[in-house]
Chains A and B, each alone.
Chain A
Amino acid sequence: NAGVTQTPKFRVLKTGQSMTLLCAQDMNHEYMYWYRQDPGMGLRLIHYSVGEGTTAKGEVPDGYNVSRLKKQNFLLGLESAAPSQTSVYFCASREGRANTEAFFGQGTRLTVV
């Protein structure tokens, strides 16, 4: 039972480099989310998707892009990494109906130097 899987788990980037974080879920969930977690800040929503081919901005979308080409995958891209994007990134998914819980991946720790 894989649930929500994030790849990679750790990454160090140099300023200006690009990378893509992959989130895959095997629960046939409609909704998927990308959050970042910084000390004392809780989880801040970056982008989210309510179905294949759709995406929407969250609270802190600047510097990130996303794509949901397949229902089971939600990709988060950093085109030109900045030190301010050093964070732990969590992906989550849930069913596309009212009052359902979200399930989280194990997180990706990203350091931008």
Chain B
Amino acid sequence: EDKVVQSPLSLVVHEGDTVTLNCSYEVTNFRSLLWYKQEKKAPTFLFMLTSSGIEKKSGRLSSILDKKELFSILNITATQTGDSAVYLCAVDDNQGGKLIFGQGTELSVKP
């Protein structure tokens, strides 16, 4: 059975800290891994990763994929209160378009 597991489930940090969120997966036919940010409403897209070792970067956020060890990390440097959200990881299993999400990591950034 396909599985996506995120850790930690919740995290409290102070502004300026750096955080690393983890996503591991077990799927039959991996196609891509996606990261989303959710702030009390609909998830919004952050990154899509398809190849190992290639870092995707957007401002203070970056992400990388390891297809051998079946995991991805999402890094946020110099965190701000606006980074407080639930971060969701999803895997596209190349079986008819199924998109499976993990439990999410709830990040709280304190001033």
Interface on A for B, CB 8 Å cutoff?
30-31, 33, 35, 40-45, 48, 50, 56, 58-59, 90, 92, 94, 96, 98-99, 101-107
- Do the beta carbons of B103 and A41 come within 8 Å of each other? yes
Instruction: From B42, B44, B101, give the contact of A44 (CB < 8 A).
Output: B101
Name A99's contact: one of B42, B88, B92, B102 (CB within 8 Å).
B92
CA distance A92 to B43 in the complex (A): 10
Q: A99-B92, A101-B34 are in contact. Are A42 and B6 (CB under 8 A)?
A: yes
Does any Cβ of A come within 8 Å of B111's Cβ?
Answer: no
Chain B, interface residues (CB within 8 Å), range: 20 to 34
Could you tell me which B residues sit within 8 Å of A by CB distance?
6, 9, 31-32, 34, 41-45, 48, 50, 88, 90, 92, 94, 96-104
Collect the chain B residues with CB atoms within 8 Å of residue A92's CB.
99
Q: List 27 A-B contacts (CB under 8 A).
A: A31-B97, A33-B99, A40-B103, A42-B88, A42-B102, A43-B43, A43-B90, A43-B101, A45-B99, A45-B100, A45-B101, A48-B98, A90-B42, A90-B43, A94-B99, A98-B92, A98-B94, A99-B92, A102-B34, A102-B90, A103-B45, A104-B42, A104-B43, A105-B42, A106-B41, A107-B41, A107-B42
- On whether A42 and B103 interact (CB within 8 A), knowing A48-B98, A99-B32, the answer reads yes
Q: How far, in Å, is B90 (CB) from chain A's closest CB? A: 8
Identify B97's interface contact among A43, A44, A50, CB under 8 A.
A50
Q: Which of B48, B94, B97, B101 contacts A101, CB < 8 Å?
A: B48
Q: Which residues of A contact B98 (CB under 8 A)?
A: 45, 48, 56, 58
The smallest C-beta distance from B41 to any residue of chain A, in angstroms, reads 6
Q: Which of A42, A48, A56, A99 contacts B48 (CB 8 A)?
A: A99
Q: For B106, give the chain A residue with the smallest CB separation.
A: A40
A31 to B9, CA, bound (A): 29
In the complex, the chain B residue whose C-beta lies closest to that of A102 is B99
9 new A-B contacts at CB < 8 Å, known A31-B97, A48-B98: A42-B88, A44-B101, A48-B99, A50-B96, A50-B97, A94-B99, A98-B31, A101-B48, A105-B42
